[in-house]
Amino acid sequence: MSRDETKYEKSLSETVEELVKSAGGWLNVIGRMTSTFDSALGRAGKLVDCPFANRHKKGGGRGKFRFTDDLNFEGRAICTCMQARGMSPVELLIEDGVATNWTKCMVKIFNALNPDSCHRHVRREVAPVVRTFYRELTQEQIVVRKEKLTLIARDLVDFNHPTAEPLRLYFALRGIPVNGNLKDVKFHPGLKYWADADVQDGEKEKKVLVGIFPAIVSAFRSKDGRVVNFHRIFINRDGTKAKVEEVKKICSSMPGFSGSSITIAKTEGRTLNVTEGVEKGWAVHLATGESVKAAYSCSSLPKLYVDKAEYDHVVIWSDCDPANPNRNRQSGDGQYFAWELARRLFTEGFDVTFMMPAGNPIDVKGRDWEDVIVQEGVLDLEGSYYRFQTLKQYAVKGGVERLHNRAA
Ligand SMILES: [Zn+2]
What is the DSSP secondary-structure string of 363-388? Answer: SS----HHHHHHHTTGGGSSSHHHHH
Q: How far is the CA of 58 from the centre of ligand 1 (A)?
A: 11
Given this model, what pLDDT does residue 333 score? 77
CA-to-CA separations, 407 to 245, 342, 350, 403, in angstroms, rounded: 53, 22, 15, 11
CB 262 within 8 A of CB 294: yes
The predicted structure's pLDDT at residue 124? 42
Cα 196 to averaged position of ligand 1 atoms, centre (Å): 14
- The reply to whether domains 139-257 and 259-408 share a CATH topology is no
pLDDT on residue 327: 59
CA 50 / ligand 1 centre spacing (Å): 4
Q: How far is the CA of 56 from the centre of ligand 1 (A)?
A: 6
CA of 285 to the centre of ligand 1 (A): 39
Encode the chain (408 residues) as per-residue pLDDT tens digits.
344 444 446 788 888 988 998 888 898 899 888 888 988 887 778 888 899 988 887 777 888 899 988 777 889 999 988 877 789 999 999 988 888 888 889 998 988 887 665 544 444 444 444 443 334 678 888 999 999 999 999 999 999 999 999 999 999 999 999 999 999 999 999 999 998 777 666 666 678 899 999 999 999 999 999 999 999 999 999 999 999 988 999 998 898 888 999 999 999 999 999 999 999 999 999 999 999 999 988 888 989 999 999 999 999 999 888 776 655 566 777 888 899 899 999 999 999 999 999 877 777 778 999 999 999 999 999 999 999 999 999 999 999 999 987 654
* Ligand 1 mean position, distance from CA 194 (Å): 20
Ligand 1: centre distance to CA 81 (Å):
4
Measured in Å, residue 60 CA sits from the centre of ligand 1 at 8
According to CATH, the topology of domain 259-408 is Dna Topoisomerase Vi A Subunit; Chain: A, domain 2 (3.40.1360)
Strand segments, DSSP code E, in 267-370 are: 271-276, 291-295, 313-317, 351-355
Q: Which of 274, 271, 308, 277 is nearest to 290 (CA)?
A: 271
User: What gap in Å lies between CA 35 and CA 41, rounded to an integer?
Assistant: 10
Domain boundaries, the chain: 3-113, 139-257, 259-408
The helix (H) or strand (E) run that includes residue 113 is helix 102-113
Q: How many CB atoms lie within 10 A of CB 213?
A: 23
CB atoms within 10 A of CB 386: 11
CATH topology of domain 139-257: DNA primase DNAg catalytic core, N-terminal domain (3.90.980)
CA 47 to chain centroid: 24
Looking at residue 289, its pLDDT comes to 97
Residue 54 CA to ligand 1 centre (angstroms)? 8
pLDDT at 136: 67
Helix, coil or strand: residue 227: strand
User: How many angstroms is it from 362 CA to the middle of ligand 1?
Assistant: 28
- Between the CA of 353 and the centroid of ligand 1 the distance, in Å, is 40
E runs forming strands in 45-110: 66-67, 77-78
Asked whether the CA dihedral 134, 137, 141, 144 is positive or negative, the reply is: positive
- CA 96 to centroid of ligand 1, rounded, Å: 12
What 3-state DSSP class applies to 39? helix
| Ligand 1 midpoint to CA 29 (Å) | 21
CA of 78 to the centre of ligand 1 (A): 8
